[in-house]
Structure 1
Amino acid sequence: MVISIGIIGTKEVVKQIKRVIKAFPTFSPSTCIVNSEDDIPIIAEQLSKRVEVILISSAWTNRKLKNRLKLSIPVHYLPITEASLYKALLQAVNGFQQVNGISIDTLTNVVVSRAVQELALEELDCHVFNGPLYATTDQLVAFHREQVVASRCSIVLTGVQSVAQQLNEEGINSIWMTPSDQDIVVTLERALLSTESRKNKEAQVVVGVINVDDFEKLAKAKKNEHEVQMLKLDIQRMILNYVESLDGYATYLGGDEYLFFTTRGIFERETRGYKLIPLAKDAKLNYSISLSLGIGFGMTANDAGTNAREALRKAKEAGGNGCFIVREDKSVIGPVEMSDPIKASIAPLDHLLVKKAEAAGMTSNYLSKLVTYMCKHQKFEYHVHELASILNITARSAHRLLLVWLDYQLIEISRIEKVPKGRPRQMYWFKFIEQKAY
């Protein structure tokens, strides 16, 4: 499932949203940058014909949009919350030598009072705009200018970018309160749930295959068969409890594998949008074992099961202790965070991109290992010997592969690294993986 979302705003806001939206693999964004928020309604009307949901920069522009248009698709906006105020207050206090007062709009007296108390800034003299909820730019500028002229404040905090720009041009110190990343995440989650495509996919069947890594070694370490059977029962009980949290159904396939079914809506919520699998952490802490998970989506149960098995193969190829997801369009999501922290996760690798990588000699085994290693270490630049170590191949083989990947434009030579002894070495940038990481 791919949901088209229109993102409209100024350059700064759109850049921030594009960075955060990488954590939402379901979204396919179409971005429109405007110089003035007054242009948003016109662009929104045009964009509404080819997207399922629209996200705009602020409540102020959302109000203007609703007054002018009645769109048939959901429209969401980025709120200015206490998190935005905290950041701006700290920026004001730390960024200016003398602050004799602050003029604030967009937020209420109650919110501002609570924020200054929690930050121990009660000595600040705060003047909060108490005019119309959706005031014009001129009204807000006039209010702030009046506070400065009357020497009630020296700094302005505003939730409207155009107000900050105008005041700064007049020589008044102004800080634009931008939405926090968490506010953007919450808004995107709401936008996702409001779309018709998402509602239709809520009940789609999800198939998961769980494999206990190196179970034979674990069994050999036990003193007798009784202890082996007790370990199996403990693992089975743990998996059943996890699947119960998914409102799913689990069954033991024998050996070291388990199968479960749930629905897409529940799975996405419990994994926080494919970000976390708590089952693996429990297995590591309680039984010192690692798990490999394969999750499959599909239009039918058969397709979902096939994709789950493919996803498990990728997790195993990556060295285990990982989870991959193969969606109905064969795009790949992973690695999902397991018991070991992953500094970055990966947005869906398009099926055509995977095919291109495989045509260049980057087998599924190599690709899984590279994606997992690079996301865990958040490093996307390597020399040939580092790559050989990751893939467990010779430096000569690694160099041969790098030349092919360069020809296919999957990677680039980023720089030449000087070493104390020996010849300088080339550093290779895995751009197609970094561009998908978040």
Structure 2
Amino acid sequence: MKLRLGIMGADDSLDIIRSVVNDYAEIECLPIVYWTEEEIFDLLEPHVGQADMWLFSGQVPYSMVKEWGRIKTPMAYVPHIGASLYRTLLHISHEKSITVSELSFDTFSSDEFSRLLEEAGLSTSRIWLKSYAGAIHASELADYHETLWREGKTKAAVTCLRTAQMELERRGVPVYRVLPTRAGVEAVLSMLLRTYEMLQFKDTQIAVQMMEIDSFKGLTSGTFSTDELYNLEIKSTEKLLRYAKQLQGSLKIAGPGRYVIFTTRGILRDFTRDFVAAPRLEELSGIQDEMVTCGIGIGKTAYEAEIHAGTALLHAKESGPGSWMVFFDDKRIAGPLGKSEQITFSGASGQLQEISRQTSLSVQTLSKLQSILKKRGSAEINAHELAMHMQIMPRSARRILIELETKGIATVVGEESPHPRGRPRKVYRIEL
């Protein structure tokens, strides 16, 4: 299967990238040219889901799109490596006899630029360099270069950004462009192909869904017989067989009301929108969503995936009926899928295991707590907030906080009164 690679860049750099990509029979190219930073998102919008990976011609468009957040597939950009700069400097020196100290530069970090000059045997007492992290507007770079040129400190500008080059040309400032090299493009393409192969392998990993169906929710009256329950079980099995067929998986019965479906990670990823949403079983097979509690397990072997699915099911049952959790092969646990308050935590941590030994709390509970605090961006929380995030009763959340306070891991730092007549809520600062 070919890698569908979306490529976005300025006209000149895109030509170089495409000329290299054409040598790779395993890559199918989707090129997009942009002329201003303002049009990047509008140009990308219609093609968001059309590529397996995206490659950008430089740091600026890559950083903008990464912050945009709409692209969920792997992304990379072609860095301006030493050979790119050396080629430009050789041209300037040969054609214009301008020294490094008479030029202004951008994009490179100070340490990187100094190292490049040292490797090239170029020494200078003064460097005019505009470094930046992430994205930057072309006009800001143009202002920097133009100011130095008009003050007579430089004779020309050297920029890595095509839009900055065009803006400087419009202002009448002598400017030279640092273009990516074929070697630089080939290095990034090699990395993307290895990543794609790895993802293809991951998509074929075994995935197991362990499901519990509450047949009582399917009863229409308050009285029932065992025959009616048995009939509901048969109907549920038939519906799950239809669902398993859509997953290209196989269904096994694991006891009354419990079923196991074996499929692959890639298929489940598509059905759960990258393990964020729970599949709509009512639409897919006619089973009421609230009847099913499910744990998804990913593993390197069928046995490992099944063990992970069982653990995920236990966490799903803690979250309440109709919940879905997933246990990945790297020991991360995520969910409940489809809920507004989702958390991802690790099942293994030496530090948390030590805290677990000091307290009556499990590593899983501590991992959830750690994930919640990280997600909130604060070490402070009250019992009501903790209960909401962990989907447990407030008294259970208070027990957790009191246990941590007793062992010196949590400290009361204040109180909140959300209601005039309500009891104040203690705010705890937690140091895991």
State the TM-score, normalized to the length of structure 1.
Answer: 0.48
Larger Rg: 2
State the TM-score, normalized to the length of structure 2.
Answer: 0.49
Instruction: Considering Cα pairs closer than 8 Å and 6+ residues apart, tell me whether 1 or 2 has the greater RCO.
Output: 1
